[in-house]
Amino acid sequence: MLFFIQIFSLLPLKALYFIADYLIYPLMYGAIRYRRNIVRKNLSLSFPEKNEQELKQLEKAFYHHFSDTIVEIIHGYRISDAQMRSRVQYVNTQDIEQAALERGGAFVMLGHIGNWEWLADVGRRYDSPDVIEYNVYRKQKNESIDKAMLAIRAKRGGECIEKNSLVRHIISLNKQKQKFILGLIADQKPTPVNAHFWTTFLHQDTSFLIGGETLAKKFNYPIYYAYTRKLQRGYYQVEFVLLSQNPSENTHYEATQAYASALEKNIIEQPEIWLWTHNRWKYPRPQECK
């Protein structure tokens, strides 16, 4: 897998976009119909006001963006710092950087929206050398894919922390008095046993992971959301929106609800750039959670 990425990353992005348009998109959308049923179901339930034609247009727009994301991730293996700076604009990195300097750490909650892999570059944008970027990841079952994704992320700086060792890392960082910013993607579907928080999201009963809020409350680190906009093909803008200044003072799930609301607003603004292939609403809301 990594060898494949290394070879194709030698191509200019223009050539990779050609592959996205004339190979990946027709293959995924037309030939193998990659998760088309799940995507259409998710879109239909999330946007009940849209008619059949509008849903089909949105569906195609998503698969075009998804194809672009695949080749952009490959390109990210060799992309120069200058090119990355021109392609991903950060509106207010100074806000989260200052929070980390003053409070010891800050959490940034992400979604699978835009090109989430390119956001790992944010660690190169901080002014202070005292602040280190860490990114939480879930180990992939396929060892080849796992190694490839870690290699791509390592190219952009920052350190990846496997989610099962996250608490141990944070305790260690506290003891060392290391200032840090932690990025974690929080829109995955929890397993039924871990679905503790439910809310209405995109017109549907939806559970959210609460691990980020739980840790932030424990250490009282401020929480931000990385609001992502696609400006044009291959160009993104990220704004860090404060969700909670003092999580330890919030009620249970208050920060998670704030995250869900921010993510929903982000998706409604540009629905084609969220990852609709995920079977997000697989499990129904339990009766005791209603």
- pLDDT value at residue 233: 98
In the chain, the amino acid numbered 104 is G
- Chunked into runs of 10 residues, the chain (290 residues) has average pLDDT values of 84 97 97 97 97 98 98 92 93 94 96 93 88 88 80 76 90 93 94 92 96 94 98 97 96 96 98 97 80
- pLDDT value at residue 46: 98
- Please state the three-class secondary structure of the chain as a single string: CHHHHHHHCCCCHHHHHHHHHHHHHHHHHHHCCCCHHHHHHHHHHHCCCCCHHHHHHHHHHHHHHHHHHHHHHHHCCCCCHHHHHHHEEECCHHHHHHHHHHHCEEEEEECCECCCCHHHHHHHHCCCCCEEEEEEECCCCCHHHHHHHHHHHHHCCCEEEEHHHHHHHHHHHHHHCCEEEEEEECCCCCCHHHCCEEEEECCEEEEECCHHHHHHHHHCCCEEEEEEEEEECCEEEEEEEEEECCHHHCCCCHHHHHHHHHHHHHHHHCHHHECCCCCCCCCCCCHHHC
- pLDDT value at residue 289: 67
- pLDDT value at residue 208: 96
Contact (CB, 8 A) for 162 and 15: no
Contact (CB, 8 A) for 261 and 268: no
- pLDDT value at residue 154: 75
Contact (CB, 8 A) for 117 and 84: no
The ranges assigned to domains in the chain are 2-75, 88-282
- pLDDT value at residue 146: 79
Helix axis angle for 36-46 and 52-75, nearest 10°, is 120
Residue tagged 């609460």 (tokens):
210
